[in-house]
Amino acid sequence: MAQRTLIQFFHWYFPEGTLWDDAARAAEGLARMGVTDVWLPPAYKGASGTQSVGYDTYDLFDLGEFDQKGTVPTKYGTRAALEAACAALREHGLRVIHDVVFDHKMGADETERVQVRRTNPDNRTEIEDEAFDATTYTRFTFPGRAGAHSRFVWDHKCFSGVDRIEDPGEDGVFRLVNQYGDGEWNEEVDEELGNFDFLMGADVEFRNRAVYEELKFWGRWLAEQVPVDGFRLDAAKHIPAWFFRDWVGHCRESISPDLFVVAEYWQPDLAALQTYLDRVDHQLTLFDAALVHRFCDAARAGADYDLRTIFDGTLVQSLPDHAVTLVANHDTQPLQALEAPVEDWFKPLAYALILLREGGVPCLFHPDLYGATYADTGGDGETHEVTLAPVACLDRLTQARQRFAHGAQTDLFDSPTCIGFIRHGTAEAPGCVVILSNAGEATLTAELGPDHAGATFVDWLGHAQGECVADDEGRLPVRCAGGSVSVWVRQDAA
């Protein structure tokens, strides 16, 4: 199969009820473009029903099949529509990547009387010694499912903490008193806020052996219901690394050894990512958060940004085999907590840098391919409308990845405002020369060698008019417009 190219086929504000059908309809076009893997949103029932994006996990075993939380379908459609979408993707040779949200559960069916200890929200290692009685939303019985697929009932012993108690009524971070961890949080999590085990809702206690086995069972069960070619693991900063090390290994043994797994460990610090990869035995890939922020900074700075430094401190530069590179996702899009939008003019440059270079698995974002318009209420209480325009050349760049991004790579990083690189091609597949500028019109010379002497090259993207011709020694002068990118390929290959 062609080199891997992933698309996140959703965004935070996706319209209700259409996504599974949209994915089925898009399958043929995505495959023709050169996409190989489709990352779908969480397919199971969330606490907010049809309003749930999927990250407020309620019932992992309800794929839009049972009347729970006021609805049978999820926000994205019914189980039957999900099955049809997965079948259509597979029919066109596309691999199906499922979003997994294990960190927490929300929307409990019943409350319980338990003991808790207050925790300092700003330093989770500071937990009060004195425990007190409180009522928590920690019992999940899933009455709408009535024991179908799994009879497991979640109660307070399945959770390590909560962010809301009643009697007394209080919001905060509360450590549940139970037999797990001797009253402390899980280890092998991110060190932000002292210990980042707790995120939200009812925080899952992975040290509970019954929970551990239930989540392994769910992985096997899902693969029996729909095609599963891989997983995107949500909130990995908050889940002990040992759990995902075990869970991913178990799924590879029981489902397929070729499962593709990417974890969302949204951390720009390279040392933290290296530590995490060591803890999970390098079994998975991680999103390159640092590169997203480089793109955001470069777009804002324009010609003042030194393009030669754009990969400094990034995961793809240091550990390319474990990097998933991206320009935007549902957490960084406008109005979201991790908002880091890349300005429109720079997006073609950024996508060229992830799609056409060696190293990393590039991930497209749905609005960058199809566009999006949505509204939401911001922190100021006002409703804000956002329109995201599609990146006009993204389909051509994605095609170029499969057609021309082959062979060894030579960087042409000599100017702070104009950089490029050569993909030299192979005996079986052609290469390309990429040039981009964050200032004015720019040129550079690519040393291609005598095999390309006298060859004529054209810009695959059509941004630069005319042709470029290599001289008798295979030196090719290429150009691009200001604030633009061009991909030069041999005319006889295009």
* pLDDT tens per residue, range 383-437: 888 898 999 999 999 999 999 999 999 999 999 999 999 999 999 999 999 999 9
Look at residue 386 in the predicted model and tell me its pLDDT: 87
Q: 389: which strand partners?
A: none
Look at residue 362 in the predicted model and tell me its pLDDT: 98
Question: What is the value of pTM for the model shown?
Answer: 0.96
Look at residue 1 in the predicted model and tell me its pLDDT: 47
For 7, other C-beta atoms within 10 Å of its C-beta total 24
* Closest by CA position to 461, among listed 444, 478, 477: 478
* pLDDT tens per residue, range 286-327: 999 999 999 999 999 999 999 999 999 999 999 999 999 999
Which one of 205, 229, 234, 288 is the catalytic residue?
Answer: 234
For 304, other C-beta atoms within 10 Å of its C-beta total 11
Amino acid at 408: A
Look at residue 182 in the predicted model and tell me its pLDDT: 67
CA angle 264, 63, 36 (to 5 degrees): 50
Q: Write the CA distances from 197 to 185, 206, 272, 298, 395, integer angstroms.
A: 6, 11, 15, 33, 40
Which one of 163, 264, 288, 459 is the catalytic residue?
Answer: 264
Under-50 pLDDT residues of the chain = 1
Look at residue 155 in the predicted model and tell me its pLDDT: 98
Note if 56 is an active site residue: no
Note if 91 is an active site residue: no
Give all domains of the chain, ordered by start, each with its CATH number: 6-101+209-400 (3.20.20.80), 105-204 (2.40.30.140), 407-490 (2.60.40.1180)
* Closest by CA position to 285, among listed 37, 32, 33: 37
